[in-house]
Structure 1
């Protein structure tokens, strides 16, 4: 009976993950604590999940990546990568991205190139950013450290008492699949929108809000009397008054205190508001805003702003910056921007103060797309030390001379001693949420195994694919993982699918490795929607994409990817 209750509870967990109201960290943590309180897992098993060697390896790798992502290497190669014909430039970009993502965290690779691609004017960014994100996934599937998903699966493998996965164990399947999909991506990327790089709408697709303050001489006068009908580059689109929206705005509309005036057009021409006394742009007088730099940023997957409003977090105090506009995909958000829950991947146009770059929470919360306020890069000497050290760690681990965790810990110590990284930076950027998700997911997996719930699913899989044999069951596990990763996050998909895959292998008396690989490759097979993979969200707003852009570009890639995995895994890893 316990097995059925655990199965039902995991079904509820999956439903909540798909709904998206609560973060995966909150949900997995709550479920793991619930299983502990119900006696389904014991305290020792739960605590051991958070001390899993593969999990610790992932966390240390993420911390080491903080230094590598600050290297100026990618910026310097950007001109070489993106010049010339679009097809050749896309091929170079995807090749370099895939190669780097095989060894570096793919979020860091995309984050480093995101600003470079957004600032360049050779090729429309909308033609490059989805290929960038997909290429980072395809490179990541070729090695153990290429993506957090592979390391997450390895943590489940270690926890199950099986031999840990090797550094290049994924390569015999991952490299051919990646090459096949990169070729397919080169063709399907032609379906992406082509926005004119000279179109001002690309960089200025925002609304501007201004509030009429107490005592303003504008109060009691009409729009026409206040000379607001013919502003340089700006157009008064609507007025928000006491929660009520006035649109379109009549020239005879009389302004009142606390009215929020919503302008559209060329928001960089905010100086047009300078002549209006008693007007504030998100808490700053228009005069003060003119002295600020306008910087465009994207909310990162690590940001504490996700699912919170600007008012809730007191954005101006936190960053010494005002939000001029918000963009989500191709849509410009308007109305009361301060009350809109933000999402990972949203683009914000900020009017920043002089000490904006001094705030230590910038890197954690944002990817900077343009503006002069970019984070400091490593020097040539520091870059050489960081990359050579990382290369040495990977090489020693690949040949079995030094365990990967030991090598990463030594490298982290060296980065701290040379002050390339600081303790305060590690504290700010520590992937605490990822640790919670994976540690708690390991506990959930133990509950599935220990209660017999995973066995129930495996028995169902055996009955379902009885006529197709072990290969049919393998395909079933892969497809279940693929569906999960398109509907929830990749790491959550791996956590939910792994115990099913392992129990199914045991039910058929087959080698577990092909089923483990089905989960690992299936959890990275997110190509058709932007919400299952963090790099897709990172490029969503900068590329001004729609959902259909991911679908029409990603469907051919997903079909090629799945065909390659399903055909190659049983050959390389026999049942």
Structure 2
């Protein structure tokens, strides 16, 4: 397979990634297997990619983070962080978020603070959640373990036969850039809307209620027999019977006199109920009782729900909960809820059954915003053990005394032995999709390099930048990565540009380190479009944002970030 055909296939891969209809895990795995079958790269290269030490380090780090994110530390900090003037509260929040994200998975940090910020009543959440997401990115670029992107780039570095990156090798550039952008956020955040608090929305706007009267022929028949499960635009969510709530409703449930049927969906389609004799419509009877079991959640990045409908996944059976409403940004989605393809970051208002909290798939699918439903927190001694152990591992790795992977494996074993983590939890939360993407991306990068495709692109970059020298080529690699990370995912951008950056450095006879840093920092430079980075999607619906909100707040930060990186990287890592 010639270099031109490989480049054409990479172009097709990029087009499919931008289109977003197929999962990146499926695309990268398909391309990697295809290259092996066509002889572009060897089977051993594929197997080696999935056992890359930096990739295994990333996976173990994410598993350890499962314990750290359950610490009550962030909840206890919340009141202190968010009191006082908005500007000072925002600065404290961004500072703490950036510091924590330098060492913890930034998705875990944002997920832990998301509910706290959404529930507090000091400052509108819409003024804080985009700064929270941006600060988690800025903190992540300061260390090797701060973001998965840096560890992914390190896996490419090791795969290329270069010395692995150090724990604080990013700090010399990342810390000044982070401080500059956090100060910039104090000003750009003023452009964000002051959207209403969550509890100012009345649940009544989601519901339609009907009472079964004494003379109704529906009495004594099941929901299925009464054909109440296939209404035009409406869905039977719950039944209130003698101050008792039946949720979810079984199709075999037999109606009784006085039952209050609670419907959701297109509540304006009230005429769908007119064909049922003996139903009396009213508007406020079940409001108080319904509010007692309403939970708002945000679909997580690792959830199995995105791109699928509620009907396809059998949501009610899977989670013992019914979906009352779906919000995407500021817009409440209407129509038949069961037929709407879901997305990461969608906010769902759920009416939950009595054993909802016992469902073992809640953590992997949702970030819970409701104050009445919280994940079990670690006890004080467990939290101390987890954080101290993690701190020791990072310190030993930074000092070069113990390899990071070895330290994390020992810590993971300790967390399992003390039952802070369990095998079942690791099984449920294992980042299998990320493992597939990165392992396959390493193979794709190898194919791009071994086929000569990366060298062709590098020669083109050299030709274009011939009048600007190696510095112009460095800026070109950074900008290509930045643009890709805005339109695809950060890890995909790093995978596609890394071999090009390495070949470009070789074409100019330059040290590869500035180009490696250009890819690493460029792949984290997602500030303008919310769909390129998972923490942006996490805050999209809880903040009631629109696309333009990210543009207004993020464009100045993207410019500051780019200027800082382009200036500092060549100073700290000379060509």
Q: Could you say whether these structures have the same fold, taking a TM-score greater than 0.5 normalized by the shorter chain as the test?
A: yes
Distance 1:89 1:536, change over 3 A: same
Cα 1:399–1:198, aligned 2, differ >3 Å: closer, same or farther?
closer
Match of 2:206 in 1: 207
Cα distance change, pair 237–382 in 1 and its aligned pair in 2 (3 A): closer
Q: Which residue of 1 aligns with 2:275?
A: 256
Distance 1:236 1:140, change over 3 A: closer
Q: For each residue in 1:110-157, what CA deviation from the matched residue of structure 2 results, as whole angstroms up to 9, or x when unmatched? A: 000000000100000000000000000000000000000000000000
**How many residues end up aligned between the 2 structures?**
531
Distance (Å, rounded) in 2 between the aligned partners of 1:492 and 1:465: 25
Q: Deviations over 1:374-419 (max 9, x none)?
A: 1100000000000000000000000000000000000000000000
Paired residues for 1:275-354 under 5 Å: 290=290, 293-354=293-354
CA change 1:254–1:42 in 2 (3 A) is: closer
CA shift, 1:290, in A, is: 4.3
Matched, 1:271 2:286: yes
Distance 1:353 1:270 in 2: 20
Q: Check conservation: 1:206, 1:325, Cα contact below 8 A.
A: no
CA 1:168–1:292 in structure 2 vs 1: closer, same or farther (change >3 Å)? same
Displacement of 1:354 in angstroms is 1.4
The question of whether the paired residues in 1 share the 8 Å contact of 2:206 and 2:265 is answered with no
Q: Judging changes above 3 Å, is the alpha-carbon distance between structure 1 residues 318 and 567 closer, same or farther for their aligned structure 2 residues?
A: same
* Aligned counterpart, 1:227: none
After TM superposition, list the pairs within 5 Å mapping 1:337-416 onto structure 2: 337-416=337-416
* 1:208 Cα deviation from its structure 2 partner: 3.6
Match of 2:73 in 1: 73
CA change 1:102–1:291 in 2 (3 A) is: closer
Q: Distance in 1 between matches of 2:7 and 2:445?
A: 11
2:127 maps to: 127
Is this contact kept in 2: 1:208–1:325, CA < 8 A?
no
Distance in 2, matches of 1:205 and 1:370, equals 17
Match of 1:112 in 2: 112
Deviations 1:442-463 (A, max 9, x none): 0000000010000010010010
Hey, what's the Cα distance between the residues in 1 that align with 2:86 and 2:393? Answer: 36
Report the secondary structure of 1:118's partner residue: helix
Question: Match of 1:325, SS?
Answer: strand
Distance 1:237 1:110, change over 3 A: closer
Specify the SS of the correspondent of 1:297.
strand
Structure 1 stretch displaced more, 297-306 or 369-378: 369-378
The residue aligned with 1:458 is: 458
- SS of equivalent residue, structure 2 residue 296: strand
Residue matched to 1:286:
none
Question: Once superposed, what is the RMSD of the aligned Cα atoms?
Answer: 2.6
Contact kept in structure 1, 2:131 and 2:185, CA below 8 Å: yes
Asked if 1 retains the 8 angstrom alpha-carbon contact of 2:206 and 2:267, the reply is no
The 1:132–1:291 alpha-carbon spacing in structure 2 relative to 1, beyond 3 Å, is: closer
Aligned to 2:245: none
- How far apart are the structure 2 equivalents of 1:405 and 1:204? 48
The corresponding residue for 1:284 is none
- Deviations 1:18-51, CA, capped at 9 Å, x for gaps: 0000111010000001101101011101100000
- Does the residue aligned with 1:401 lie in a helix, a strand or coil? coil
What residue is the counterpart of 2:248 in the other structure? Answer: none
Q: What is the deviation of 1:358?
A: 1.0
Shift of 1:207: 3.1
Is 1:516 matched with 2:531? no
| 8 Å Cα contact 1:478/1:518 also seen in 2 | yes
Gaps of 5+ in 2: 211-217, 231-261
Which stretches in structure 1 are left out of the alignment for 5+ residues? 220-233, 241-245, 275-288
Deviation at 1:200, TM superposition (A): 1.3
Secondary structure of 1:154's aligned partner: helix
Deviation at 1:256, TM superposition (A): 3.2
Q: Which secondary structure state, in structure 1, belongs to the residue aligned with residue 367 of structure 2?
A: strand
Deviation at 1:257, TM superposition (A): 5.9
Contact persistence 1:191–1:553 (CA under 8 A): yes
The superposition leaves residues 237-291 of structure 1 with CA deviations (integer Å, 9 ceiling, x where unpaired) of 9568xxxxx6xx78xx872369xx999x9xxx6715x9xxxxxxxxxxxxxx849
CA distance in 1 between partners of 2:299 and 2:559 (Å) = 30
SS in 2 for 1:531: helix
Question: CA deviation digits over 1:415-447, x for unaligned, max 9?
Answer: 000000000000000000000000000000000
Question: Retained in 2: the 8 A contact 1:346–1:541?
Answer: yes
Inter-CA distance 44–80: structure 2 relative to 1 (3 Å threshold): same
Shift of 1:196: 3.7
SS at match of 2:402: coil
- Find the counterpart in structure 2 of residue 567 from structure 1: 567
Superposed, which structure 2 residues align to 1:163-202 within 5 Å?
A: 163-197=163-197, 200-201=200-201
